[in-house]
Structure 1
Amino acid sequence: MVYQRALPLATRKLTITTTQLGAASALHGAVALATGDVFSERGIARLLVD
């Protein structure tokens, strides 16, 4: 379905696989997003202002 809905340029080098994290994959993704936000330039600035 991804290949049918996306432009060929966007999927040219795309490989879709299953996760090796199992049931914890959502948690790992959430931690990665939160960490990226907190330690971004804007995140650090927010921490310093508060």
Structure 2
Amino acid sequence: VDNKTVGIGNKVTVQEKGRKTQEVFEIVGSTEADPLENKVSNESPFGQALMG
């Protein structure tokens, strides 16, 4: 997988515009999603946006 492709199993670092802090999210299947663990479903709007 090249560094421009995001899919299930990948971790994505997100930095909100204008902020210095970053958060890491892992793209997972819908049954594994856990917002407290920053695991985002590939079917969620946020997960789909991260995957492009």
Could you tell me the TM-score, scaled by structure 1's length?
0.22
Larger radius of gyration: 1
The answer to which structure has the higher strand fraction is: 2
The answer to which structure has the higher helix fraction is: 1
Relative contact order: is structure 1 or structure 2 higher (C-alpha 8 Å, sep ≥ 6)?
2
